Amino acid sequence: MTLHVLREDDGEALPVVLLHGFPLDHRMWEATAAGLVGPREVLAADLPGSSGRTSSGAAASWAQDAAPSLDDAADRLAAELAERGTRRAVVVGLSMGGYVALALAERHPELVAALGLVDTKSTADTDEARAARLQVAEETERLGTVEAVTGMATSLVGESTRAAQPAVSEQLAAWIEEQDPADVAWAQRAMAARPDRTHVLAAFPGPVTVVVGDEDTVTPVAAAEHMVEAAPAAQLVVVPRSGHMSAVEQPAAVAAALSDLAQRADSA
């Protein structure tokens, strides 16, 4: 796992740690990170299921050597943060990143000052969704390509984005094409195996912001409302004209919501 520094700061504000969605990498957060208000360190991880390619095209893949578990991803993230001296942070995850954020809050609660859950859910997959993930994992390994997930570049964004911002899907497609098939298969199996973590939200004492695109059909507004109802200190932000990739489709709106969360965490 690699942690990328998107913004540097040596002040007193809590750092923000950003966890990307599937099948992407840390680059999906760049526009949102740039829009965060105030001086604050911002880190973005390359999780399993991401090749974590840099601008030079060098991959930092490790998922092939790890068991398919998002708990393991959370433990690795905690170790990376500890190594760099980060003792407490605002942890934000989109989709798969949200699953890892909840695992981190359960397994390493001392690290998580606040939770940002963006276009994600706290429940486990249905049997149908789990079977679909495993099928994609098998197909990806069999073909040795990411062809099985390339269509997500269009399906993950909202109707408004498809109509008004076609460049967003083009950028997502380019990022997806750069992922490693073995990592994609690993992530699908890990997500299929994840448990329901609604209880983690119910027990979480810090501030929570749940963000969802109003056109998100993958983890819709109802899934966001479920998390807000479970968490004792949660706020809901619905992003207009956005689908499942709100941080890429409407980064300014997501940055505003996360800036407010970070400020709440600083004051807690």
Nearest to 218 by CA among 151, 130, 161, 155: 155
Q: Which CATH architecture does the domain made up of 2-267 adopt?
A: 3-Layer(aba) Sandwich (3.40)
- The answer to pTM > 0.85 is yes
**3-state DSSP of the chain:** CEEEEEECCCCCCCCEEEECCCCCCHHHHHHHHHHCCCCCCEEEEECCCCCCCCCCCCCCCCHHHCCCCHHHHHHHHHHHHHHCCCCCEEEEEECHHHHHHHHHHHHCHHHEEEEEEECCCCCCCCHHHHHHHHHHHHHHHHHCCCHHHCCHHHHCCCHHHHHHCHHHHHHHHHHHHCCCHHHHHHHHHHHHCCCCCHHHHHHCCCCEEEEEECCCCCCCHHHHHHHHHHCCCEEEEEECCCCCCHHHHCHHHHHHHHHHHHHHHHHC
pLDDT tens for the 268 residues of the chain, in order: 789 999 998 778 999 999 999 999 999 999 999 999 989 999 999 987 565 443 333 333 444 455 789 999 999 999 999 999 999 999 999 999 999 999 999 999 999 999 999 999 999 999 999 999 999 999 999 999 999 999 999 999 999 999 999 999 999 999 999 999 999 999 999 999 999 999 999 999 999 999 999 999 999 999 999 999 999 989 999 999 999 999 999 999 999 999 999 999 999 8
Nearest to 136 by CA among 161, 155, 113: 155
In contact, 247 and 237? CB cutoff 8 Å: no
Q: The dihedral of CA 23, 53, 189, 86: what is its sign?
A: negative
Q: Give the alpha-carbon dihedral of 110, 116, 120, 123, to 10 degrees.
A: 40
Q: How, if at all, do strands 42-46 and 89-94 pair? A: unpaired
Residue 66's pLDDT is what?
Answer: 53
